[in-house]
Amino acid sequence: MAAGQPERRSTARADDPELRGRRDERRAYLLLAASVEGISGRNSVNLLDVSRTGARLTGDALPAVGKDVVLQCGAVDTFGTVIWNDDGQCGLHFDEPISGPELVALRNAAMAVERSGLTPEELQARADWANGVAR
């Protein structure tokens, strides 16, 4: 290991009651408007990062831990379960991993949004319309 690099865990910490350990999948950090739909209805959220097996979201009125939801963002429409919820953010674990091409499509969409020059409010309105949240 090179000097100055922190040692990376390959297993869960002994003091971690949820045994989270190191993630199996690399995450793509991005900012995309999305929606989550559960029994209580559909909410607008922002997708902060995503991997093939899960995602981190931010927004108002996020679903509680243990709730099953459908995440909709661009061409990705996948089922998942909320595994943590804290301080306006939550984590989803997907029921089935999304495909590599879907992950690449999300990254490409995030780059296109960044280049578009739209305000966050305009992006959210556009995503709400595309995801069926807007009325």
Q: What is the pLDDT of residue 24?
A: 63
Q: What is the pLDDT of residue 115?
A: 85
Q: What is the pLDDT of residue 123?
A: 72
The pair of structure tokens assigned to 47 is 């997708």
* pLDDT tens by residue, 80-126: 999 999 999 999 999 999 999 999 999 888 888 888 887 766 777 77
112 found inside a domain: yes
**If 0-12 CB within 10 Å is exposed, 13-18 middle and 19+ buried, where does residue 60 land?**
exposed
Domain that holds residue 113: 28-126
- Residue listed under structure tokens 């999304």: 98
18 found inside a domain: no
Q: Residue 33: what are its φ and ψ, rounded to 5°? A: -75, 140
Q: What is the dihedral of CA 74, 80, 84, 85, to 10 degrees?
A: 50
Q: Residue 71: what are its φ and ψ, rounded to 5°? A: -95, 130
Q: What is the pLDDT of residue 21?
A: 45
- Residue 46 CA: distances (Å) to CA of 20, 51, 117: 23, 15, 17
CATH number for the domain harbouring residue 34: 2.40.10.220
10 found inside a domain: no
* pLDDT tens by residue, 46-81: 999 999 999 999 998 899 999 999 999 988 999 999
Decide: helix, strand or coil at residue 52.
coil
134 found inside a domain: no
Distance, in Å, from the CA atom of 20 to the CA atom of 129, rounded to the nearest integer, reads: 36
1 found inside a domain: no
Q: Do residues 98 and 76 lie in contact, with contact meaning Cβ atoms separated by under 8 Å?
A: yes
* pLDDT tens by residue, 33-45: 899 999 889 999 9
22 found inside a domain: no
Q: What is the pLDDT of residue 3?
A: 44
5 found inside a domain: no
State the total domains in the chain. 1
95 found inside a domain: yes
